[in-house]
Every structure is written in structure tokens, then in C-alpha cells.
Structure 1
Amino acid sequence: MASAPKSGLPMCYNDLMPLNSQEHAKWTARQVDKAPWIASQHVVPLTVEEFPMAQRDFPIVFSTGDNPVPLAVMGLNEGTNTFFEKDGTLIGMPYIPAYIRRYPFLLVKMRQDDENLSLCFDPTSGLLGAFDDGSALFNDDATPTAHTQELLNFCQKFEEAGLRTKAFVDELNALELLMEGEVAINRADGTGQPFIYRGFKMVDENKLRELRGDQLRKMNESGMLGLIYAHLMSLDLLRVVFARATDQGTGPALA
């Protein structure tokens, strides 16, 4: 049985252990076709680079609190995910966020006074070990294999994308463009009271229209404006997620 998530660990991670050539010299990483670690998560963090692909399949919202992060909405109830079966089998062929693909690896600063990041993994994942199958993590001379280097590069790119995402959200906050979100969703047959989806932040379209021309020009040149509209246009997919949940029997009760 996996241990309960430790305080301060990111979503999906139960524990973290540095990968090293001494303890894990003969370990391999298994290839998987299921993602059980995400099956009970109704939202998944996104980077801004993913907005163009993700907005085709998922509503993109922002978390509440002082430090919002972009999220792909995969279910309207906590503990439910309309894009993955309970065993982690993908339903259909939606875009798979990098956060899901990165697991069980994560770059971690081991000491506060050290800027270097170490490649760590979740030892409870069952994806790394002294298996007879899988991709080797280290060569016979204890150097990382090409597979491990690819994993490291992917995690580094994810961290860099995270910094750009933070800069994007910081700019939204500086311009006071984020507001508390609320979307009313009606049943397909048009009967009953609508379901009201809250508990997220979204861009305030009225404030966006009120920005000065030079501000909008700067945002357009930087690509920020396109990302904002990708977010806004994706919100209509909340109705699609609601319909998926209803079809799967996990839909929220109508207010």
C-alpha cells in the first residue's frame, strides 16, 4: 500500500528519492500504457506552452489563492477524472499534459543554499526498480543512459516552462485581470436548475477590454493575448466535461 502523501509534495507524489548510480545502478524504468496516479485527480497543472494543445480538449482555469496556477479541468468533482478510467486507462485520444508525462520524476533542490537541482523520483510509483524489463537508467560505468538523459532534459524543460508560466500569471495579477470564476451549466435536455461551477479563477473579459492600446499591443507582441483567448475559449468545454461525467455516472448534482 502506498503511503499517504507527505506535506509539501506536489500533486500525485507520495514520496521523493534522489536517483543515483550507487543505489540504482541496475535499476530500470518501465514503459506504461496507463496512468493510475492521475485517475483520481480532477485537475492537472498546465504550463503556458501547453495552452494551444490543451484548450482543444480541456477547460483551462486558474487555481484560487494568492499564487494561481493554470489547470486543465478533467472532472467537476474531486476524486473524479472523466478522461481516465479508475485503473489509469486513457479514454479516447486527448492531449496528455506534461505534468502527467513527467511522473514519477521531479527536479528538486536538495539544499536551500544550493541552486543545483537533482533528479528525484517517487519510490511508491512502482515504475522504477530492479526489473528484468524496462529501460536501463545507468550504464556499466555508472554514467546516465540516453534514456535517463532524456528524462532529465524533459524535467529541465518542464521547470523552464514553469518559470514562464509564473511570469505569465504574475503579469495577469499585475494587470488585475484575474477574477473569481463562475459558470452555469444546463442539462442537455434543458430541464431542471443549472449546475453552478465555482472555486476557480478566470480572466475578466471586461477588464481585458478596458486595457490601454499600448498594453494590448505589448501583450499581443509577446503572445500573451493569444494565451488569454485560448483560456477564455476553452471555458465552454466545462459543459463537455459535465456531459462526460453525466454519461459516466460521476456527474455533479444539479443545484
Structure 2
Amino acid sequence: MGQHLLLNDTEHRDLRVSVGHGAHLGDDVMGALTFPDEFRSVQAHYPIVFRREAAGGLVPLALFGLQEGCNLFLDGDRWDATYVPLSIQRQPFLIGIAGEQRLVHVDMDHPRVRQAGAEGAPLFDEQGGPTAHLERVRSVLLALHDGVDATPAFIEALQRLALLEAFFLDVRLDDGSLNRLAGFHTINEERLGALDGAALERLAGDGHLLPIYMVLASMSRFRDLIERTNRRRAAPR
């Protein structure tokens, strides 16, 4: 679960956070949460799929690999894409709600957190004010919070029109191994194409039609994941 504390300039004045990327910083993950307003940026690099959570609901994910614990865009300390989803950018911070306020929390158990004297980006200046890094974190958290809040309406629209379906992907790699990706949902393009004008007009009016097309466009990125997997497996160890 982690140790989530409300960030403040008294207890955390000297706290540092590691920036950049790396497996040791928690970036070696198969995918990350995304949201409809982010789909345009995400689809340029990653497939967008939907996964059913323990509570039963579906959430959209940007896929970075074909198996758990494998991020094919992580190359040492470099993320090999021009866009990194906000749910990765926000680490190790979270947003908490207190009445009308949205407050920044920090996961003290996250590998990016560093104590006083360690290398990393400071969160507060000498006067206790927020640094530029912390201000950027706040903007990322607010955008992520608003995007995630808007996601259930998008999912409900897809389910109302029966546009979501489970899928699996069988991949034979260059080394001859057969790999199956399963446990995800995608949008049924045939059902989308069969919708009448009224249904399409409602989707467009509610702001759902563009994200749907972004999901469909992102399916072409599976080819890149397969090629990256082949290159990684062929690389000398």
C-alpha cells in the first residue's frame, strides 16, 4: 500500500525525489492508468486497452509491454518515447480530497523518495515555498485527477452501446516462442461502425467519439511492442 502522508513544508522541507527513469525507480511496469483526455498523446506510442478491476469496473491502460513487470520503453535510465503517461509522471505523489480541497500526498515508501542530503529534486525552497518541480507535480496531479474523474462516464457510454469486448493476442516471436496476451478488453470496431446516426451524434456531443477513435488507432502500436520484444530477446545478455 505504501506510506501516504500529506505533503507539508515542515516535515518535508528537506525531502528530495529522484527524477528520470529506471527499473530501480519503479518504472519497470507492464502498463499504467490513462484517461480519455490523454488518449491522443498516449496512442502515438502505446496500445490503449481496458482492464477489469477487482471492484468490477473497467479502467483504460497504456500498455508498455506484453507481460507483467516488463516495460519495453525502459532503456536503462531512459524512457524511449516522447510522451510518458501522467500516472507515471506523478510518482511518488498522489492527490487527496479534503472537502473542496485537493491536497498533495507523498508515498514515503516509494523508491523515488530520498531524504535530506541525498541527490534529487527538492520540493521546497529555503523559505518553505514550493519549488518549480513541486508546482509541476501539482499540475500533473490535478490533470490526472480530473481525467480519472471523467472516465466512468466514458466507460458507461461504451458499455451502454455494447462496444467493449474481451480480446486476446497470440504472438509468435522471432525465437519461435508463442506468447498470449489476455485479460483485457478493447473496442469492437464492427459494432461501432453499425451504430446509427443518433448514437454517433450523442457520443460526439458527449465528447466520447474522439477518444474511441484514439483507442482504435492505438491498436497499431501492438506491432511496435512485438518488435521491441524481439529486439530485447535477441540482445546479448
TM class, shorter-chain normalised? 0.7 to 0.9
Q: 1:57 aligns with which of 45, 59, 63?
A: 45
1:116-148 CA-partner distances (Å, limit 9, x unpaired) = 443111213343432376554335554544543
Aligned to 1:245: 229
Change (3 A) 1:193 1:207: farther
Q: So what's the TM-score if we normalise by structure 2? A: 0.83
1:9-39 CA-partner distances (Å, limit 9, x unpaired) = xxxxx33222122212333445x22243443
Tell me the secondary structure at the aligned position of residue 82 of structure 1. coil
Aligned to 1:157: 143
Higher percent of residues as strand: 2
1:176-230 CA-partner distances (Å, limit 9, x unpaired) = 21111123445569xx696443210011223222322111012224442221111
Partners of 2:96 and 2:114 in 1: CA distance: 18
Partners of 1:95 and 1:139 in 2: CA distance: 28
Change (3 A) 1:234 1:139: closer
For 2:31, give the aligned amino acid: V
**Is 1:33 aligned to 2:20, yes or no?**
yes
Q: So what's the TM-score if we normalise by structure 1? A: 0.77
Tell me the secondary structure at the aligned position of residue 199 of structure 1. strand
Kept after mapping to 1: 8 A contact 2:45/2:221: yes
Deviates more, 1:179-188 or 1:229-238: 179-188
The aligned runs of 1:70-85 (5 Å cut-off) are 70-85=60-75
Change (3 A) 1:135 1:67: same
Partners of 1:132 and 1:195 in 2: CA distance: 42
Kept after mapping to 2: 8 A contact 1:185/1:239: no
Cα deviation for residue 56 of structure 1 reads: 1.4
Query: Which runs of 5 or more residues in structure 1 are unaligned?
Result: 1-5, 7-13, 251-255
Query: Which runs of 5 or more residues in structure 2 are unaligned?
Result: none
Change (3 A) 1:247 1:219: same
For 2:90, give the aligned amino acid: R
Alignment root-mean-square deviation, CA = 2.7
For 1:83, give the aligned amino acid: F
Tell me the secondary structure at the aligned position of residue 182 of structure 1. strand
Q: Percent identity?
A: 27
Aligned to 1:182: 168
Aligned to 2:106: 121
For 1:130, give the aligned amino acid: A
Change (3 A) 1:25 1:91: closer
Kept after mapping to 1: 8 A contact 2:171/2:179: yes
Q: Tell me the matched-pair count.
A: 230
Kept after mapping to 1: 8 A contact 2:49/2:63: yes
Aligned to 2:83: 95
Kept after mapping to 1: 8 A contact 2:167/2:185: yes
